[in-house]
Every structure is written in C-alpha cells, then in structure tokens.
C-alpha cells in the first residue's frame, strides 16, 4: 500500500517536472505576444478616475479569467478535431485587432478636436461616466479575448506532440501567468501616482530623498500612460499583422526582403484601414435608412 502511494507521488512529481519545463518553453515562445498584451491592456485599463482605477481593473481581470475559461477547452477540442477552425478564428481576431489600431490612428488624425471626444475622464459629464466606464471595460475584455486566443494557440503549438494531460496543464499555466502577470503589472502602473504621493508625505522634510522619488513617480505616470497608448496602438497593428503574415500563405511569401516587424506593421495597418472604411460605409448605409 505504502509503495503504491509513493509511486503515485513519484508520477505526480515527474508530471510536474514535465509541465514546468514545457511551461518554460511555452512562456518563452509567447513572450512577444505577452509584451504586446501588456501594452494593449495597460492602455485599455488606464484613463479612468483615480477612485475607479482598481475596481475597473479588477472587472477587466475577472473578464480575462473568464476569457481563459472559455478559450482553453474550445482550443483543445478544435486542435484535436478541427485544426483549420483555429486559423480562421485567428484571422478574424486579427481583423478586429487591426481595426482597433487603425481606428485609433484615424481618430487621432481626423477627430482630435471633436467636441464629443474626451481624453480626460474629469472632463466627461458625471452622468456619462458609468456608461463610458462600462464601454471601456467591455472593449478591454473583448481585446483581451482575442489576444488570449493568440497566446493559447502559441502555447498549445509548443506541446502539440505531448500527452493530453501535459497539454492541458502547460497551456493552463501559461494562460494563468498571462492574466496574473499582465494585470499585476498594470495595477502597479495605474497606482504609481498614489505610491508617489505616499512617499512625498512620508516625512515633514521638503526636499528629502523620498520626496524626489515620489515626484518622479507622480510626474512619470502621465508620460507612461501616453506612451502606453502609443505602444498599445502599435502592438495592435503588429499582432494583427503577424497573425495575417503567419497564417495567410500569400502574405507570408510577399516581400520576403522586408524586415518582419515592418511587414507586420504595414499589413496590420492596411487591413485595419480597410476595415475602418468598410465599417464607416456600413454605418452610413444604416444611418441613411
């Protein structure tokens, strides 16, 4: 009886070793998309009133966990029985991501001074804040869903020749780390100014070391948020362009001399602007009716 118990423990230990080593490999392969995921979701999770940042971030994080719960079993089933569907889903998701990135550029170029466009939440009428908050949370969760699909598929590709148990455990670990890691870092970023003010008020001195560090944190936050907005937009186009270039054979072999990052960006931008134009035409048609 005892020997059987220890044999089970030995099997579990060996399984955990395999999962740990495969998770390490899968995490390395998804590092690029995780970086894009961080930039995109950090940009999506900022721009709220200070008192609402953590509640909003928690709502997005819960949505991200739910996304993973939905995606993981579907990904395993499709990988086993209908692998072509994964490529189709990735391309459709890529179109959405490129649309979001191109729309941001379009709005910046042509509607920067639109009277109904608000960059600062303090400028939004109070009665519109709840609806605006819900809209941004929904957009963040939808974007997270599409990026999560890409992360799960890449992670799954690294363990496709392993047993089903190792596939499930490894991809689940990577998906969990993606959510906890990304939104943990985002939480630190959005609360940076609060940490800065605490350091400034740490003592009565007016020019202490803690005051200087606190001022750096407070002054850096707006610049970081603005930078994340730019990086997040670029990331949307790079991720979507990468999806198209890796999954559409014609695009994969088009312009082989182009640097891969530049090619991903250009393809994402072109597809995105086409999607923006199509959506605007559809909206005009519905409005005219």
Q: What does DSSP assign to residue 48?
A: S
Let me know: does 45 contact 143? Beta carbons within 8 Å. Answer: no
Q: What does DSSP assign to residue 234?
A: H
* pLDDT of the residue at 32: 54
Task: Answer whether residue 215 shows pLDDT above 50.
Answer: yes
* pLDDT of the residue at 47: 62
What DSSP line would sit under 107-169, residue for residue? HHHH-TT-TT--SSGGGS-GGGHHHHHHHHHHHHHHHHHHHHHHHHHHHHHHTTTS-HHHHHH
| Tens digits of residue pLDDT in 63-99 | 989 998 998 898 888 877 887 887 788 788 889 888 9
Q: Residue ranges per domain, the chain?
A: 13-288
- CA dihedral (206, 208, 211, 216) in degrees, to 10, reads 130
Q: What is the average pLDDT value for the chain, to the nearest integer?
A: 77
Let me know: does 50 contact 194? Beta carbons within 8 Å. Answer: yes
What is the total residue count of the chain? Answer: 289
**31: number of CA atoms within 13 Å, CB side?**
5
How many CB atoms sit inside 10 A of residue 152's CB? 26
| Tens digits of residue pLDDT in 125-184 | 666 677 878 888 888 888 888 878 878 887 777 776 677 777 788 888 888 888 888 888
Nearest to 171 by CA among 158, 161, 180, 184: 158
pLDDT tier for residue 275 given thresholds of 50, 70 and 90: very high
Task: Answer whether residue 37 shows pLDDT above 70.
Answer: no
* pLDDT of the residue at 115: 44
């Amino acid at each position: 009886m005892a020997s059987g118990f220890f044999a089970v423990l030995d099997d579990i230990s060996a399984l955990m070793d395999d999962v740990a080593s495969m998770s390490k490999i899968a995490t390395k392969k998804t590092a690029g998309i995780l970086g894009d995921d961080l930039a995109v979701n950090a940009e999506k999770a900022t721009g709220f009133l200070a008192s609402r940042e953590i509640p909003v971030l928690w709502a997005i994080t819960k949505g991200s966990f739910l996304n993973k719960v939905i995606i993981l079993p579907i990904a395993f089933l499709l990988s086993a029985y209908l692998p072509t569907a994964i490529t189709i889903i990735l391309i459709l998701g890529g179109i959405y991501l490129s649309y979001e990135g191109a729309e941001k550029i379009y709005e910046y170029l042509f509607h920067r001074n639109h009277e109904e466009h608000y960059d600062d939440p303090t400028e939004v009428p109070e009665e519109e804040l709840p609806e605006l908050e819900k809209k941004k949370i929904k957009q963040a969760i939808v974007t997270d869903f599409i990026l999560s699909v890409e992360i799960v598929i890449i992670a799954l590709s690294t363990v496709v020749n392993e047993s089903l148990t190792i596939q499930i455990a490894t991809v689940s670990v990577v998906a969990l780390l993606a959510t906890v890691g990304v939104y943990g870092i985002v939480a630190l970023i959005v609360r940076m100014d609060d940490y800065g003010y605490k350091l400034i008020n740490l003592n009565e001195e007016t020019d202490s070391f803690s005051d200087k560090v606190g001022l750096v944190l407070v002054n850096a936050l707006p610049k970081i948020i603005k930078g994340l907005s730019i990086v997040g937009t670029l990331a949307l186009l790079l991720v979507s362009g990468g999806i198209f270039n890796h999954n559409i054979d014609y695009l994969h072999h088009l312009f082989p001399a182009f640097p891969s990052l530049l090619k991903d960006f250009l393809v994402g931008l072109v597809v995105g602007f086409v999607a923006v134009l199509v959506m605007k035409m559809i909206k005009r048609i519905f409005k005219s009716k």
